[in-house]
Amino acid sequence: MRPGRRQLAPWVCTVLIRAEKPVPSSPRSPDAVTPEAASPGEERGTRSEEESQPGAPLLSALLELQTDFLRGGDPQRSLERWLTLLLGETGGEHGLLGVELQAPGVAPAPQLQVLASTPPGWGAALWEVPAWLTPGDAEPRSLQALVSLALSTGQPLSAEGPVKVPGSAPLPMPEPSPRSFRVLPLQAGDARTGFVGFTHRPGEATAEASEDLLLLLDVGDSLLRSRREAQQQEQTQQAAHHLQEELEALRQTLASVEDDLWIWNAPTRELRVSRRWREIAGYAENELAPTFDAWKQLCHPEDLPRIQSSLQAHAEGTTPHAEFEYRTRCKDGEWAWILSRARVAARDEQGKPIRIVGTDTDLTAMKRSEERLSALLLAIPDLIFRLRGDGTYIDFSCSTSERTLLAPEEFIGRNMRDLPMPQYLNDLWFSNLDRVLRDGALAVYEYELDMPQGRQSYEARVVRSGPDEVVSIIRNITERRLVEERQAQLIQAEKLASLGQMAAGLAHEINNPVSYVASNLRALDEYASAVGPLLRMLREFLEEPGTEPRTLSAEQLARMRQLWQQGELDELLSDMPELIQESLTGTRRIKEIAQSLRVFAREDDGQPQSVDVNEELESTLRMVSNELKYKCDVKRDFGPLPRITCFPTQLVQVFTNLLLNAAQAIETRGEIRIRTWQRDTEVVVEISDTGKGMTAETISKLFTPFFTTKPRGQGTGLGLSISRDIVNRHGGRIEVRSEPGKGSTFTVTLPLSPP
């Protein structure tokens, strides 16, 4: 049957046959719709054959209904139209049509579903409302209870109502009232298909036994059966479609799987492998015989005992499956690593395996990666540990000849707390371990430990490698520490050499303010001597006894005027503020020079700080000003800069070296220009001079230690080398541009935060 077409129901044939019979021209009397309406004693007689035949309007409506149904019309609309025809036949105004939902083999009360209701929603409104009384009942029943009772007995059921329950809302029933309600089970043979219920006025006939009603009930039963069959067919089609999708997904999964599938028939020794195994080994389909012996010849001889042992253990039932790694020779002569998992699929009557199925996974790439990783680990001169969150060692790699606290194989399974290490080191380790497991961040810390070869310095790096495990790399940095200490000493020596070079100029810079401060102090001393007599006379006047108000005598006033004129106090008062201001300026200048010297000469404490590069440049310029002012003019072009994290004393040394070199490159009189600006996440400092410039050969050697273009005894040749190392340690870079006769430009680029 084509989709969308429905089978011809039996009731359709009945309607078509009856439609061919002659129909009376006069309509049937509604008084004769059911035999129950007339009592046995009444002389109403038996209806004639013509009176018992269905009327033409009903047959026409049923034909229209079946035509719409056969054309694939809406089943819900068909059920509603049928219910309307039934109510028209029975004279009722309210009705409902439904089915029984019951899973096979389930004993509890059936589940009922109302499919159609007239008026719409009427059945749902009264479905659970106790408003109907059956004969012999003292308590009213709901529509649901009436339907359940009728279905349980398989007999029609009548009830009177609706009964108004005190305190309840008005029932959705039109006047006049009361009415009777009739429930009829719909059944085809032994199979129950559903139920129909309708209202009618008490005393009115229900026409249960009329041919029209029987025909309508037959039609309703057929509609419900057809609906159920259509649903089952749709469900079957959906299940088939879903199964087809699952099969297609399985086919695509098997096509994309990287594993090889194989089947071994043990009695015949036939071995069939999938295309994937031949791809791994590089053979075409017909280049290998499909036998176990042909496969065995390709296996590495050292792996055969392990394969046989695994297969035998599984065949005897010792293991749930066989699993082994082996090497097979490829067509190009290389060895491919394969992981095989197998299971017995069938046994004979004696329990011996007759068919074994398995999968092969290509491990070649993984094995080669492991080899490369192993070679890499051997090349790393570090200790590598893998530990659980509680400090237990679960893996260990040592590619160095350095002695450790324990032999490498003794670390596995031990807890770090059990090792002979100081308590502070255990506390340091576990604090970093907890932080790494909690935050997932890399932890780097250094520590020292007394070892048989002496006190050693180590750097530990810890990173999370799983939910409750970490990997730690321990590196011996003792030699690096020594190099760093020597380098720090060298940097300090270069600082002192630069300081010695600037000593004369600094002395001159300090001497100038000291000289005029001393001169001003001498002048102030003379002023103090001049004003002394007047102040002493005033003190004598104030120390005279008595509390009464006093006035100066003419003699005292004349004496004060004399002292004022002798001391030239008018000139003193006008000159003193200027002397004091000049002295303050001089002491401030001395203080700035001293601070700059202290910053330049002090050793780095190893802790980065947040600084303003422009301020550091100004501090450096104050310190070297005496070296610059007699040879060049300094032009500042400072742009707004964010603060950077750095080691300020080291940067000051870089700026000092560059500024002194720039001044020394200027032979007569020139200019030094300093520019600063921000570029993305970097700060750029550019120092240019109008000196004699450099050749390409000189530039190529410029940062080489001990290389210098200065006369013997005037330079160590370490300034620029140390400057480059400092900038590199900050994660920055230093570049130079220069041509003979056109000056030089040094550009220092620094990140906002060091790496």
Instruction: For 98-146, write each residue's pLDDT tens digit.
Output: 888 764 444 455 688 888 888 888 888 878 888 888 887 878 888 888 8
Averaged pLDDT for residues 564-579: 74
Say what the pLDDT of residue 520 is: 74
What is the structure's pLDDT at 639?
A: 93
CA distance 535 to 550: 18
Cβ density class 729-754: b for 16+ within 10 Å, e for less: ebebebebebeeeebbbbebbbbbee
Fold topology of 10-37+50-102+109-233: Beta-Lactamase (3.30.450)
- Overall average pLDDT of the 268-297 stretch: 86
Q: Which H, E and C letters describe 538-571, residue by residue?
A: HHHHHHCCCCCCCCCCHHHHHHHHHHHHHCCHHH
- Name the range with the highest mean pLDDT among 210-219, 328-337, 465-474: 328-337
The half-sphere exposure of 274 on its side-chain side, counting CA atoms within 13 A, is 15
pLDDT given for residue 643 in this prediction: 93
Residue 170 or 130, more confident: 130
Peptide bond into 178 cis (omega under 30): yes
pLDDT at 272: 86
- Overall average pLDDT of the 282-291 stretch: 86
H-helix or E-strand spanning residue 82: helix 75-90
Mean pLDDT of the region 559-586? 75
Strands (E) located in 209-307: 260-265, 270-273
| Phi, psi angle pair for 698, to nearest 5° | -65, -40
SS3 99: strand
Q: How far apart are CA 193 and CA 189, in angstroms?
A: 10
**For tokens 């009829």, what's the residue?**
184
Res 139: pLDDT:
84
- The torsion angle over the Cα atoms of residues 618, 624, 629 and 634, rounded to 10 degrees, is -40
pLDDT in tens, 83-96: 888 888 888 888 88
**What pLDDT score does 46 carry?**
42
Q: What pLDDT is recorded for position 136?
A: 79
Band (pLDDT 50/70/90 cuts) for residue 304 is very high
Digit-coded pLDDT (tens) for 508-533: 567 667 776 777 777 777 777 777 77
Q: What is the mean pLDDT of the chain?
A: 77
CATH class belonging to 606-755: alpha beta
Secondary element (H or E) of residue 217: helix 211-256
Contacting residues for 377 by C-beta, under 8 A, at least 6 apart: 384, 397, 399
Residues 289-316 have a mean pLDDT of: 90
Q: Which tens digits make up the pLDDT trace of 699-743?
A: 888 887 767 766 655 555 667 888 888 888 889 999 999 999 889
pLDDT for res 714: 56
Task: Tell me if the domain spanning 260-368 has CATH number 3.30.450.20.
Answer: yes
**Alpha-carbon distance 486 to 482, whole Å?**
6
Strand order in the sheet with 682-689: 632-638, 670-679, 682-689, 744-751, 733-738
Cα distances from 682 to residues 611, 674, 733, 752, in angstroms, run 14, 17, 11, 6
Note the pLDDT tens digit of each residue in 394-447: 887 776 666 677 776 677 888 888 887 888 888 888 888 888 888 888 888 888
pLDDT the model gives residue 688:
93
Nearest in space to 54 (alpha carbons), one of 9, 17, 8: 17
Average pLDDT of span 492-499: 61
User: What is the pLDDT at residue 233?
Assistant: 86
Fold of the CATH domain 380-476: Beta-Lactamase (3.30.450)
Using a pLDDT cut of 90, give the percent of the chain over it: 11
Q: Which two tokens stand for residue 612?
A: 């303003």
CA dist 640 and 634 (Å) reads: 19
pLDDT digits (tens, 9 = 90+) for 609-649: 898 999 889 888 887 887 788 888 899 999 999 999 988 88
Residue 123: per-residue pLDDT: 80
Pairing of strands 469-476, 454-466: antiparallel
d(CA 731, CA 733): 7
Q: Which pLDDT does position 602 carry in this prediction? A: 57
**What pLDDT is stored for residue 674 in this prediction?**
93
Element (H, E) at 687: strand 682-689
pLDDT(687) > 80:
yes
| Cβ-defined contacts of 274-283 (< 8 Å, 24+) | 276/360, 277/360, 280/328, 280/330, 280/336, 280/338, 280/360, 280/362, 280/364, 281/328, 281/329, 281/330, 281/331, 281/336, 282/330, 282/331, 282/332, 283/331
Q: Give the span between the Cα atoms of 373 and 408, in whole angstroms.
A: 19
